[in-house]
Chain A
């Protein structure tokens, strides 16, 4: 059974079918890319997975769990983490605090223990800190640890958004346009991170991307979405040469 199973997913916004009968499956341990022109509905798929929107039809199955029975705050607990295209970091907190929020799903301490800051809370905090530091090491963010987000450059923020998702220790990582706004070196670096995440951290990755070289570099399978519908699915060479995909990106020969 695949890790993530999407069947016949559809949603309309005011008459416009943003996602139209989309089905695909993601195998555990793979890197799965979703490509397509702007406005094709890719981020909407993620938002449906995050349960921010309610689909009109479709099944969402993760590791045997029916996602439609859950609310958006329950998704992380299952082991699904995501980043946002427009970066939703906590602006007025430090990098460390942002990352520590990522540990929220692993919190075991009751509220009154926290108010009293008992020994068990201290132990738990130290553990969380150790885990977060592992992620900081992994993404080389040590330099920025105590800085407040609002002063930091865009490339660093993208890394922090990724780091925060990693702190959840998810099984499935949803990356929304990880390379947008990054220069070629940073994009190449992002490619290495994704590889490392798959290999060293044993996570499954689904990414929405526009940068085809990055897609070619990291992904095992590619899904092309055009106008809300599946246009092609397969390995990247197949999808990128598929006539529907080519015409969506480049227009028809005529």
Chain B
């Protein structure tokens, strides 16, 4: 066993005496403290904040869950998906339908996850043979088809006239309170995040990253890319399906139009903005989108009506932010956060050049 020294970002010097320390999710006391505090604050929030903010927070948590699902597939396994709204739709309608039949959330939620997983499996098997842009468009096509079918299966989904959603039901009680839904979503999100973090520090997670970065050499190392992609698709679909189920509770009324292409695109943009390939990025992205949406509606009230009255100002701002981020900080918010942390750590001898992007030239991806 080696003893080695590592400096952490909050200026602590870590003495590591065994490999187990590297395995742990929280690497040292400081980590444990801050994340512990965060979890505590999140669970205690309903005691402090009032209903409106809890509702907004619930929305952000649901985005985060959906983003977590997408990140598993796209950020960690490299399979682009422009159609994740399909899984949100499957999860939402399944959950709503089972509740309407009188089942409790203990049945409805797992069924939502299960049916989404089946959807994920169905997409995964052909999708594993595709790559790059073909895969992205295939997922987009899948989402469009699902949206179309949702409109047509009127007996189950209520079609274009919509479907009302009951409150979640646990142990015979219906949870209509805002804070009730909030805590429910939070608990499931924490569990899902832990599951994903566990996968990432296990052989499966590394295999996913391997498939993302070099499918060829991953095969030469014994990884079965097909199995990994199918696994990633199913896990991703399950988590996103759960997010969809909670989205149904948040919106209380479902129509197929909610789950259109624009939602899929928004999800993807959210995780890219947050920081692709990182779990932090999921949460940064969700918070950003949540804040943007709230911020824009607040700003609309304060701005002169000549600007705020313009139809389409929100998507415009969203698009503008997105483009600036990609052009100037493609690693997303998390990437910028890492740079800021490094700055603080190395102050005053921080060198900006240490993060300078190499002048890059296009290498064709057509030969792969």
Q: Does A pair with B?
A: yes
Contact B220 A100 (CB under 8 A): no
Kindly supply a per-residue 1/0 record for chain A positions 51-89, scoring 1 wherever the CB is within 8 Å of any chain B CB and 0 otherwise. 010000000000000000000111111000110100011
With a cutoff of 8 Å between Cβ atoms, the chain B residues found around residue A10 in the complex are: none
- In the assembly, what is the distance between CA of A27 and CA of B322, in Å? 59
- Dominant secondary structure of chain A at its interface with chain B: helix
Query: CA of A133 to CA of B3 in the docked complex: distance in angstroms?
Result: 12
Is A77 a contact of B222 with CB atoms below 8 Å?
yes
Contact B220 A92 (CB under 8 A): no
**Do residues B222 and A125 form an inter-chain contact, with CB atoms below 8 A?**
no
CB-based contact A88/B202 at 8 Å: no
A165 CA to B220 CA, complexed, in Å: 9
Nearest A-chain residue to B214, judged by Cβ: A88
| Number of A interface residues in the complex (CB < 8 A) | 42
Task: Name the A residues within 8 Å of B277 (CB-CB).
Answer: 92
Task: Check B209–A97 contact: CB distance below 8 A.
Answer: yes
Tell me which of A75, A91, A122 contacts B23 (CB under 8 A): A122
A52 B216 Cβ-Cβ under 8 A: yes
Partner of B202 from A74, A76, A109 at Cβ < 8 Å: A109
B218 at the interface (CB under 8 A from A): yes
Q: Are the CB atoms of A50 and B198 closer together than 8 Å?
A: no
B217/A126 in contact, CB under 8 A: no
Q: Complex: how many Å from CA A99 to CA B203?
A: 11
User: For residue A73, which residues in chain B have a CB less than 8 angstroms away from its CB?
Assistant: 219, 222-225
Closest residue of chain A to B78 (Cβ to Cβ) is: A92
Is residue B50 within 8 Å, beta carbon to beta carbon, of the partner chain? no
| B241-284 interface with A by 8 A CB criterion | 277
Question: How distant is the Cα of A89 from the Cα of B212 in the complex, in angstroms?
Answer: 11
Residues of the B chain whose Cβ atoms lie less than 8 Å from the Cβ of A90: 209-210, 212-214, 217-218
The dominant DSSP class at the B interface is: helix
> B207 at interface (Cβ–Cβ under 8 A)?
yes
A76, A107, A115, A117: the one within 8 Å of B220 (CB)? A76
Closest to A126 in B: B19
Per the 8 Å Cβ criterion, residues 181-238 of B in contact with A are 195, 198-199, 201-207, 209-210, 212-214, 216-225, 231
Query: Are B20 and A168 closer than 8 Å at their CB atoms?
Result: no
Residues on B with C-beta less than 8 A from A91 are 213-214
Q: Which residues of B contact A117 (CB under 8 A)?
A: 198, 201-202
Asked if A105 is at the interface of the complex by the 8 Å CB criterion, the answer is yes
Instruction: Known contacts A90-B213, A122-B20; decide if A104 and B202 are in contact (CB<8 Å).
Output: no
Does the CB pair B213–A129 fall under 8 Å?
no
B327 at the interface (CB under 8 A from A): no
- 0/1 per residue, A90-116, Cβ < 8 Å to B? 111100010011111101010100111
B220 touching A126 by the CB < 8 A rule? no
In the bound complex, do residue A82 and residue B220 qualify as a contact, i.e. CB atoms below 8 Å apart?
yes
Given contacts A77-B222, A100-B206, contact A89 B217 (CB under 8 A): yes
Q: Which residue of B lies closest to A124 (CB)?
A: B203
Judge whether A130 is part of the interface by a CB distance below 8 angstroms. Answer: yes
- Rounded to whole angstroms, the CA-CA distance of A130 and B202 in the bound complex is 15
Q: What is the size, in residues, of chain B's interface with A at 8 Å between Cβ atoms?
A: 33
Contact of B199 among A75, A101, A114 (CB under 8 A): A114
**Is B19 in contact with A76, judged by CB distance below 8 angstroms?**
no
Min CB–CB distance B209 → chain A (angstroms) = 5
A164 at the B interface (CB under 8 A) = yes
Contact A164 B221 (CB under 8 A): yes
Chain B residues with CB under 8 Å of A114's CB are: 198-199, 202-205
A121 on the interface (CB 8 Å rule)?
Answer: yes
Is there contact, CB below 8 Å, between A104 and B221?
yes
Q: Mark A109-144, 1 if CB is under 8 A from B, else 0.
A: 101001111000110011011100100000000000
A72 near B209 with CB under 8 A, answer no
A109 to chain B, nearest CB (A): 7
Is B220's CB under 8 angstroms from A50's CB? Answer: yes
Q: In the complex, what residues of A have CB within 8 A of residue B201's CB?
A: 117, 125
**Is the CB–CB distance between B210 and A129 below 8 Å?**
no
CB of A43 to closest CB in B, whole Å:
13
B8 to chain A, nearest CB (A): 12
CA–CA, A105 and B201, complex, Å: 16
Residue of A nearest to B231 (CB): A111
Whether A115 and B199, one on each chain, are in contact in the complex, defined by CB atoms closer than 8 angstroms, is yes
B301 at the binding interface (Cβ < 8 Å):
no
Q: Are B195 and A126 in contact (CB under 8 A)?
A: no
The answer to whether A72 and B220 have CB atoms under 8 Å apart is: yes
In Å, the complex CA distance between A84 and B218 comes to 12
CB-CB under 8 A from A52, the residues of chain B are 216, 219
Q: Is the CB of A126 within 8 A of B199?
A: no
Q: Compute how far the CA of A171 lies from the CA of B223 in the bound complex, rounded to whole angstroms.
A: 18
With both beta carbons as reference points, the residue of chain B lying nearest to A84 in the complex is identified as B217
A128 CA / B23 CA spacing, docked (Å): 12
Shortest distance in angstroms between A217's beta carbon and chain B's nearest beta carbon? 27
For the complex, what is the distance from the CA of A115 to the CA of B222, rounded to whole Å?
Answer: 21
User: B11 on the interface (CB 8 Å rule)?
Assistant: no
Give CA–CA (A122, B214) in the complex, Å: 26
Query: Is there an interface contact between B20 and A107, defined as CB atoms closer than 8 Å?
Result: no
Least CB distance, B25 to chain A, in whole angstroms: 9
CB pair B222 A76 closer than 8 Å: yes
In the assembled complex, the CB of A199 is this many whole angstroms from the nearest CB of chain B, namely 25
Nearest-CB residue, chain B, relative to A91: B213
Is A125 a contact partner of B214 (Cβ separation < 8 A)? Answer: no
Q: Establish whether residues B217 and A104, one from each chain, have CB atoms under 8 Å apart when the complex forms.
A: no
Q: List 7 A-B contacts (CB under 8 A).
A: A76-B221, A89-B217, A92-B212, A101-B209, A122-B23, A126-B20, A129-B22
The 6 closest A-B pairs by CB, nearest first: A76-B222, A88-B217, A90-B213, A114-B202, A105-B222, A117-B198
